[in-house]
Amino acid sequence: MGFLRVMMPPKFQLLALLAFGVAMLLIENQIQKLEESRASLERTIARHEVAEVEQRHSEDSGRDPSSLSDREDMVIIYNRVPKTASTSFTNIAYDLCGKNRFHVLHINTTKNNPVMSLQDQVRFVRNVTSWREMKPGFYHGHVAYLDFSKYGVKGKPMYINVVRDPIERLVSYYYFLRFGDDYRPGLRRRKQGDRKTFDECVSSGGSDCAPEKLWLQIPFFCGHHSECWNVGSRWALEQAKYNLVNEYLLVGVTEELEDFIMILEAALPRFFKGATELYRTGKKSHLRKTTEKKPPTKETIAKLQQSNIWKIENEFYEFALEQFQFVRAHAVREKDGELYVLAQSFFYEKIYPKVN
């Protein structure tokens, strides 16, 4: 090479280096393509081996792999928190249940009491786990979390839920009690006729906008322990966090409802296949908006934020939001302003013993 540098003019030396560089890039590109082809071939072989193992296991056990009971035995419980877009989301399930062949059941408690008596807890657990005619099933209602493992039953349902900024949730609920929504506009509401704004309520120290009314999302996730309903309890906060992480498949936020639906569809297509498209392009019959709602002033928000109850409820909301954003970051990607679900990123290999 030193001899060539002496004999060749500088222009030709530069051309030779460029040619060498291009050749190396081409070689690296071919190597990369070969590596990708090898990985694709390995995944194909692995899938084939897994299918053969499953087929052999099915033949040994006398079962048809296409009729595995776990898919049809699935139960989801959506213990919906009031005024978190829960009706909007639930109506999507109602729109899909016929097409996707699952059952939707509303848990209607007396006076919307989220706490069940012990005997009702036992009845409910027995119904959900043994009512085979209603499986696969999607149960929804304003009910506090219930730990099925306490009742000696086999299998547990999957919990999902949605949370909302605590003050925005309370404001929405305040106006809902007075003016209703566009879902059932003719229905008379409990506080109908009271035209006092939320700001006026806070300013005058009204009970319907008191900080204690913020205490709802934590007890819904905490459950049926007495301490869960002790307003401002930090034990309840920690229990709610524990349940959110360990007992819920997914908890979304109202402000990012479409992303929540997209991830659910990817994780549970048995129930939610077509949900994202329905949410985006449907007639929006599932959407529900509170009537006459007026945003609170900065002064009103600041006054509520002075409360220790708000601080604890907001801590839970921020915890839920961070967890949801973590799940989303590992489930979807953004491209050209659109979100799309990531494809499966794992496969099985080196499966032994080999199938003859």
State the catalytic residues.
Answer: 140, 142
Q: Which of 156, 328, 317 is nearest to 247 (CA)?
A: 156
Task: Kindly report whether the peptide bond that precedes residue 219 is cis, defined as omega within 30 degrees of 0.
Answer: no
In the chain, at which residue ranges do the beta strands (DSSP E only) sit?
75-78, 103-106, 137-140, 158-163, 248-253, 332-335, 338-341
Q: Which of 277, 247, 246 is nearest to 341 (CA)?
A: 277
CA end-to-end span of the chain = 56
Distance CA(163)–CA(165), nearest Å, equals: 7
Quick check: helix, strand or coil at residue 124? helix
Those residues whose C-beta lies under 8 Å from the C-beta of residue 80, and which sit 6 or more positions away, are 86, 89, 90, 140, 141, 142, 161, 162
Q: Which of 245, 262, 266 is nearest to 323 (CA)?
A: 245
Phi-psi region of 115 (alpha: psi -120 to 50; beta: other; left: phi over 0): beta
The four Cα atoms 258, 261, 266, 267 give a dihedral, to 10 degrees, of 140
